[in-house]
Chains A and B, each alone.
Chain A
Amino acid sequence: MNIRTLVVSLAALCISASPVMAADTIKIGAILAVTGPASFLGGPEARTLEMLVAETNAAGGIDSKQVELIIKDSGANPEKAISFAKQLIEEERVVAVIGPSTSGETMKVKKIFEQAGTPLISCAAAEVIVNPVARYVFKTPQNDSFAVRKIYQTMQDMGIAKIAVLAGNTGFGKAGKEQLTAIAPEMGIEIVEAEVYDKDANDLSAVVAKIKANPDVQAVVNWSIVPAQAIVAKNIRQAGWDVPLFQSHGFGNIKYVETAGAAAEGIIFPAGRLLIADQLADDHPQKAVLTSYITEYEKNFDEQASTFGGHAYDAYIVLKAAIEEAGTDRAALRDAIEGISGLAGTGGVFTFSADDHNGLDIDSFEMITVKAGKFVPLAQ
């Protein structure tokens, strides 16, 4: 009978190190999908946060207090996110938490942060996170509905009325598909084909053949954040189909353009200005912050900055501004975040309010297209 082993190990686990409280640091938690199926989001987010915290600390911290960042890797598992949320709130007593990376996880931990009265700044895009508004829950990525409206406006200009929708089977794809369906009637757009593909898809030529066979389709919207979205572009062009291809703001990573190669040419999508920072006018409010983020990120990590890391950047600067304003009391911090206005981030200029916990408007998006493997603003 090895119950003794059980008792000993359980006791040992419980007695082991209770957290050391250091009064002169500011603890910030982060729950990110650094590994697992959403690592293409969590990876850049985690690196961005580490870089920013190191920068802050090198510059003397916030209010001369050093910042301590605790990143928890949820691997995109909601049950882990729940466990980590409770751990960060009670055990580490963080002042606020950045993340999670996916909307499914964010929806699961929303209630916990409400109950505990701790601010949460999510890096996931789905609109349900902040609509209806929960007192302590914020998010930095732009609303899907703005992206959808931008796309539909462009379609109207191009005289497109009937479209096919392809979406990845992640929280991002799901939320986008819902917004596309909901907003279509008022913009005079009809969705004639809709399919959802797997995030691990190898090849999608069959489904492309299917929607191509529908003569009504005037344009395709591919709403996805996973690498598989590049496959859609390739398969459409390989099929010799010269249809206008729209993507979502989930396409905001130059890696996807590289993977799609020649097939990426002419793709139209809405995105934050991070992707076209070098082409912005010098007096644009976001120019300085974008240039500094991109330079720093590319200096520290051997890869190009993406809008995904930008969401974590925005979450951090929002939080930092609020801490500078209100200190480390969680309730005061929440109020301070709501009071932020005109803060330039990578995703846009943030102005929060009691009923807007996203802080961005439709102008945070710019319609972008791909030309010669580079992102350029879409000529109006």
Chain B
Amino acid sequence: MTLELFIQYLFAGITYGSIYAIVAIGFNIIYNTTGIINFAQGEFVMLGGMISISLLPVLGLPLAIVAAVVITMIFGALLEICFIRWLVNPGVLRMIIITIGLSILTREAALHIWGESIHSLPYFVGNEITSVTIAGARISPQVLWVVGACGCMVIILSIFFQTTSVGRDMRACAANRTAATLCGINTRNMVTLSFMLSAGIGALAGCVVSPITSTAYDNGTGLAIKGFTVAILGGLGNSMAAVGAGLLLGIIEAFSVHIIPLAFQDAIAISLLLLILFIRPHGLFGSRSAGLKEF
């Protein structure tokens, strides 16, 4: 393998990895405050892409993205208020099934609203063939946008959770819901907030990756599965770990192309994941003490 090819694979892996990580972060935020894996997370990504594409002719790129994020956040909040908020002590399995149901409904609604054909946002900088050269490898500037968005998200989220009072309330809610309630934190609002936050992050991800991956009504499922895989691989609830796990999975996938047929890429990636899970049942960076809800 030449150095150039090595770097090219590495960047391809970083591209995949950042896309997975950005979806996985959304999973983690909801998981942290509620203990729920929201299987509709992929749909937020799809909605973000679709809404911004629809608004693009009216608002222009930056405003369309902002509007798409806001609308998706409202959608996320509505989902939580209508379907989840009023449930008393829902079991994990029940929540998995409800969020799967929501994901199916959202997807089918998108099919009837936007039709089955693919759309995409224009490249933020340059066009489909523009590329920048880094250490002899050529990559699309959009990849830098994705990596940048992913990095910014992690930084902003950590600042938000560490320093703001709302962020601390949300963490308290994650650590011990009863205690948080006793301290006067409105845990229900925190849950709604977490849905909004992760819907917003999903939507932003959907906009940033749209030029690379294109957006169609059924994009969400595939991204959700990959995002879920990465969230689990990193250890649920840990966004930094999700980024690490995402990059790891992406890079493994990219390099696997060199030795095995691309058609088996997913099978290999998932087999590796299962092996890791068997050896470290709480994910690569997760700890045994992380309170896991059981069925």
Contact = CB atoms under 8 A, between A and B. Distances in A.
Main secondary structure of the interface of A (DSSP, over half): helix
A180 to B, nearest CB: 16
A262 B140 CA distance: 13
Given A197-B262, A203-B212, A238 B130 contact: yes
Contacts of B111: 35, 39
B8 A207 contact: no
User: B115, B123, B255: which has the most chain A beta carbons within 10 Å?
Assistant: B115
A234 B126 CA distance: 13
Contact of B116 (A43, A213, A230, A237): A43
Interface in A6-24: none
A196 B261 contact: yes
Nearest to A264: B128
Contacts of A259: 118-120, 214
A202 B15 CA distance: 10
A26 B223 CA distance: 45
B19 interface: yes
Given A203-B212, A206-B254, A227-B118, 16 more contacts: A35-B116, A37-B218, A43-B116, A43-B117, A198-B265, A203-B12, A205-B15, A206-B253, A209-B8, A209-B257, A234-B212, A238-B129, A238-B131, A239-B138, A261-B127, A303-B115
Interface string A239-253: 110000000000001
A344 to B, nearest CB: 27
Contacts, number: 121
A58 B130 CA distance: 51
B214 A239 contact: no
Interface residues of A, number: 40
B270 to A, nearest CB: 13
Contacts of A256: 118
A318 interface: no
Given A43-B115, A202-B16, A263 B128 contact: yes
B169 to A, nearest CB: 35
Contacts of B246: none
Given A35-B111, A213-B2, A205 B139 contact: yes
A260 B118 CA distance: 11
Contacts of A261: 122-123, 127-129
Contacts of A262: 127-129
B263 A196 contact: yes
B222 to A, nearest CB: 4
26 contacts: A35-B108, A36-B218, A43-B117, A195-B262, A196-B261, A197-B262, A198-B263, A200-B222, A202-B213, A203-B213, A205-B12, A206-B12, A206-B255, A209-B257, A237-B128, A238-B130, A238-B138, A238-B139, A238-B140, A255-B118, A259-B119, A261-B129, A262-B128, A263-B128, A264-B128, A303-B115
A195 B11 contact: no
Interface string A208-241: 0110010000000000000100110110011110
Contact of B258 (A198, A210, A303): A210
Contacts of A240: 131, 133, 138
A178 to B, nearest CB: 14
B44 interface: no
A38 to B, nearest CB: 9
Contacts of A146: none
Interface of A: 35-37, 39-40, 42-43, 169, 195-198, 200, 202-203, 205-207, 209-210, 213, 227, 230-231, 233-234, 237-240, 253, 255-256, 259-264, 303
Contact of A239 (B13, B15, B131): B131
A203 B131 contact: no
Contact of A202 (B13, B19, B118): B19
A264 B131 CA distance: 16
B212 A202 contact: yes
A40 B11 CA distance: 31
Interface string B1-21: 010010011011101100100
A113 B184 CA distance: 69
Contacts of B261: 195-196
Given A35-B111, A206-B257, A234 B262 contact: no
A230 B214 CA distance: 9
A68 to B, nearest CB: 24
A263 B214 contact: no
A373 to B, nearest CB: 11
A239 B8 contact: yes
A9 to B, nearest CB: 22
B129 A205 contact: no
A197 B264 CA distance: 9
A207 B262 contact: yes
A203 B254 CA distance: 10
B209 interface: yes
User: A37, A197, A203, A256: which has the most chain B beta carbons within 10 Å?
Assistant: A203
A194 to B, nearest CB: 8
Contact of A234 (B8, B11, B116, B128): B128
Contacts of B8: 205-206, 209, 239
A259 B117 CA distance: 11
A203 B15 contact: yes
A306 to B, nearest CB: 9
